[in-house]
């Protein structure tokens, strides 16, 4: 069905347009046209002067609305997470499982397949955060399940998860060049994180073509004058990195400095979890964050729009750039047939509609 969205301020991901209409046909953007020239026989939707931008993309979220995916491992948990994402203007998400048993990963793969087979929307695939991490930087991850990767196991996981596993966070110093190269050859987005690598160890592995880093600053070797660490390697390379913009995982001053240094290489994730009282990861809600029962910070209570608001309000990031960090920049990491993160011809018609105070009024997908 063809439709025109009119009377709106359009942020395309590249710039801002007024007096234009977005023409959509079968969920794909057909064109952006002058409002006065559109075919009047088209169904029109008046957006009442509101702002419209590409819908958001969250490449790291563990669950939502009381359903932690790794504890449930079912379609219902994915449906609950999708609804949570929509509430924050996010239409595409990468469900994430933290370091766990291989059995949990395999059951997670099957749950994703079931969700897709039942027509589930928005799910890009599975992000495995672990188990190939450095135990010294495990954060909230379960120590007993952290391991050094063996090629046989990696091949088995990717075989079972073909088309499902899209992203894996690894500590580069724990992985051989052979393993990292193999993951990238299988079209896996390799992201470095939970790492105690020296600057030189990190740069050596990044030089293989690793494209991403996971939650800048958190659970990685810090930037220091004599030891630049993983943070220094992220700063001084072409790697894109996610960051958790809640003011708890990372101070807003650190976000602001990193943005100035990294430009379009820095993007938002929520790293959001939800309350869980069973399984290996029991998350306790503390009002503005989640912790393990022992008090270890274990996840955020963010939505993607809240990350955008925080960046604008507390990190001096311009609104349009904050919107890109939630949509255009994470989209650049994806290798998908549908194009996300821009309002442009042939891109997916996934939009977030909001007022000038960044309050969401509608999500269109």
Q: Is residue 75 situated within a structural domain?
A: yes
User: Residue 59 region, left (φ>0) first, then alpha (ψ -120 to 50), else beta?
Assistant: alpha
Q: Based on the domain organization, do 137 and 286 belong to the same domain? A: yes
Range with the lowest mean pLDDT among 35-49, 189-203, 345-359?
35-49
pLDDT per position as a tens digit, 265-311: 999 999 999 999 988 999 999 999 999 999 999 999 999 999 999 99
Q: Based on the domain organization, do 351 and 275 belong to the same domain? A: no
pLDDT band at 41 (very low <50, low <70, confident <90, very high): confident
Q: Based on the domain organization, do 243 and 188 belong to the same domain? A: yes
Three-class DSSP category at 152: helix
pLDDT per position as a tens digit, 61-86: 999 999 999 999 999 999 999 999 99
| Residues 204, 164 contacting (CB under 8 angstroms) | no
* Catalytic choice (39, 46, 264, 271): 271
Number of domains making up the chain? 2
- Indicate the average pLDDT of the chain: 97
Q: Based on the domain organization, do 97 and 236 belong to the same domain? A: yes
Q: Report, as an integer, the average pLDDT of 345-365.
A: 97
The CATH number that applies at residue 289 is 3.20.20.140
Q: Report, as an integer, the average pLDDT of 346-353.
A: 97
Q: Based on the domain organization, do 217 and 171 belong to the same domain? A: yes
Q: Is residue 337 situated within a structural domain?
A: no
Q: Report, as an integer, the average pLDDT of 38-59.
A: 94
pLDDT per position as a tens digit, 142-171: 999 999 999 999 999 999 999 999 999 999
The CATH number that applies at residue 6 is 2.30.40.10
Q: Based on the domain organization, do 159 and 299 belong to the same domain? A: yes
Helix 252-262 to helix 304-314 angle (10° resolution) is: 90
Residue 325 has pLDDT above 70, yes or no: yes
Q: Based on the domain organization, do 110 and 214 belong to the same domain? A: yes
The candidate with the shortest Cα–Cα distance to 63, out of 88, 83, 87, 89, is 83
Q: Based on the domain organization, do 40 and 106 belong to the same domain? A: no
Q: Is residue 353 situated within a structural domain?
A: yes
- Report the alpha-carbon distance of residue 325 to residue 305 in Å, rounded: 11
Q: Is residue 152 situated within a structural domain?
A: yes
Q: Based on the domain organization, do 160 and 27 belong to the same domain? A: no
Residue 336 has pLDDT above 80, yes or no: no
Backbone φ and ψ of 204, nearest 5°: -60, -45
Q: Based on the domain organization, do 226 and 292 belong to the same domain? A: yes
Q: Based on the domain organization, do 184 and 323 belong to the same domain? A: yes
Structural domain boundaries enclosing 10: 2-53+344-364
pLDDT band at 355 (very low <50, low <70, confident <90, very high): very high
Q: Are strands 20-25 and 2-6 parallel, antiparallel or unpaired?
A: antiparallel
Q: Based on the domain organization, do 69 and 38 belong to the same domain? A: no
Q: Is residue 203 situated within a structural domain?
A: yes
Q: Is residue 295 situated within a structural domain?
A: yes
271 is catalytic: yes
Cis check: omega of the bond before 131, within 30 degrees of 0 = yes
- Report the alpha-carbon distance of residue 322 to residue 305 in Å, rounded: 9
């Amino acid at each position: 069905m063809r439709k025109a969205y009119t009377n709106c301020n359009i942020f395309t991901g590249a710039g801002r347009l007024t007096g234009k209409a977005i023409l959509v046909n079968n969920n794909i953007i057909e064109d952006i046209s002058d409002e006065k020239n559109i075919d009047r026989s088209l169904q029109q939707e008046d957006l009442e002067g509101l702002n419209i931008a590409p819908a958001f993309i969250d490449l790291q979220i563990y669950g939502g609305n009381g359903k932690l995916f790794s504890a449930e491992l079912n379609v219902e948990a994915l449906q609950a997470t999708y609804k949570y994402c929509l509430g924050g203007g996010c239409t595409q998400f990468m469900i994430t499982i933290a370091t766990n048993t291989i059995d949990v990963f395999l059951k997670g793969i099957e749950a994703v397949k079931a969700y897709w087979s039942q027509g589930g929307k928005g799910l890009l695939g599975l992000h495995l955060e672990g188990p190939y991490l450095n135990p010294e930087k495990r954060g909230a991850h379960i120590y007993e399940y952290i391991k050094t990767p063996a090629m046989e196991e990696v091949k088995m996981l990717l075989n079972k998860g073909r088309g499902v596993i899209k992203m894996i966070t690894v500590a580069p110093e724990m992985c051989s060049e052979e393993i990292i190269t193999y993951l990238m050859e299988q079209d896996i987005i390799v992201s470095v994180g939970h790492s105690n690598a020296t600057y030189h160890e990190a740069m050596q592995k990044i030089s293989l073509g690793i494209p991403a880093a996971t939650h800048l600053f958190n659970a990685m070797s810090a930037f220091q004058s004599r030891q630049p660490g993983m943070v220094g390697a992220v700063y001084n390379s072409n790697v894109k990195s996610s960051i958790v913009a809640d003011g708890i995982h990372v101070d807003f001053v650190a976000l602001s400095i990193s943005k100035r240094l990294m430009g379009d290489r820095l993007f938002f994730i929520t790293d959001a979890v939800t309350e869980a009282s069973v399984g290996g990861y029991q998350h306790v809600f503390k009002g503005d964050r989640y912790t393990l029962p022992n008090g270890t910070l274990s996840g955020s209570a963010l939505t993607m729009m809240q990350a955008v608001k925080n960046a604008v309000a507390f990190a001096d990031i311009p609104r349009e750039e904050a919107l890109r960090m939630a949509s255009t920049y994470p989209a650049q990491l994806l290798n998908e047939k549908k194009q996300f993160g821009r309002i442009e011809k042939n891109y997916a018609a996934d939009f977030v509609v909001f007022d000038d105070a960044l309050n969401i009024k509608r999500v269109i997908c």
